[in-house]
Amino acid sequence: MMPAVSFGYKCQECGEGTVREQIFHGYKTRLKGLPLTVDDARIGVCDKCGARHFDQSETKRWKTLLDEKYAEAYLQPSDIQDLIKQLGLSMEQFANLSGCTRQSLYNWQRPERSAPQSRMADLFLRLIRESRKVGAINVLDFLTEEAGKLGFDLEVAIGTQGKRSLLTIARKVRRESTGEEIPKSLALAAETKSCPDDVILESEEGQRVGRLVYDFLEAELKVEFLQVVPFDEFDAEILLKDGTHVSCKQSVIKNGEATLLEETKYQQDDIARVRFFA
């Protein structure tokens, strides 16, 4: 049941009209910096100047909808408990490590918590967990990927290193739609395991940059470039579909091909995104 709203008063903007309730279907807004679409938003609109007014009980309902929508986007109480145990720290020690208060940490771990930790605190907790799992990580890449999960498409400047970056997204397509044959050097690998679909790396503009191919004989994941790229050597940060980050360093392009991962079990279907640095 929706809470009652209080409209019908004189507009404070123009001082002449009356604020009356209107229902907006599919109303798009932002709360706590996150996008939210409210199916039936109840908003007061002045019948004279059109100014919009928002009732406190209605915006409170929106915040509840926001928490429900993004509940899975935050570390759950059990995740935080597991992280503390994995690090071998007490509650007080972990609070000192993460810069939060012990009371906040206690509240985040409660199964019946009324609200999750802030987005900033959640990202920091995820950074700690990811660092423990894989070691050194690129913080900007990590934060960019996390923002992408919420629908924010960001391109972060590299900074003082002066490196250019190219973000590509892995997408599966029918092989015949690529208009290219598998290179002869990888033909044997293709015959070793049937692969009716190709995994293409597309730029944010939708251009096909390369094709991922797994060489079963060498246990290597390679990229065959489908267009000329402005570099002959690159580093790459690779996001796997399970959320793991891996990287390659100083890979050299030869005859339009380059190795992304050596002696790896990860194949083309495991890849979500690849960011090239040159």
In the structure encoding, which two tokens stand for residue 201, read together? 């790396």
pLDDT at 163: 65
Q: Where in the chain is the domain with CATH 1.10.260?
A: 73-136
**Least confident segment among 13-17, 187-191, 236-240, 243-247:** 187-191
pLDDT band, very low/low/confident/very high, at 23 (cuts 50, 70, 90): very high
Residue 272: partners with Cβ closer than 8 Å, 6 or more residues away = 169, 170, 239, 240, 241
Instruction: Report whether pLDDT(1) > 80.
Output: no
Question: Quick one: 229 exposed, middle or buried, by C-beta within 10 A (0-12, 13-18, 19+)?
Answer: middle
pLDDT at 206: 86
Average pLDDT over residues 226-245: 90
Average pLDDT over residues 47-54: 93
pLDDT at 192: 43
- pLDDT over 90, % of the chain: 54
Which of 103, 108, 114 is closest to 83 using CA atoms? 108
- pTM, two decimals, is 0.45
pLDDT at 162: 52
Higher per-residue confidence, 236 vs 69: 236
Best CATH choice for the domain 73-136 from the list 1.10.260, 1.10.1740, 1.10.3470, 3.30.1490:
1.10.260
**Position 65: which residue type?**
L
CA dihedral sign of residues 70, 73, 76, 81: negative
Q: In Å, how far are 89, 142, 158, 173, 237 from 138, measured between CA atoms?
A: 25, 6, 11, 30, 8
Q: What are phi and psi of 209, to 5 degrees?
A: -90, -45
Q: List residues bridging with 169 in a β-sheet.
A: 202, 273
* pLDDT one-digit tens code per residue, 202-220: 998 889 999 999 999 999 9
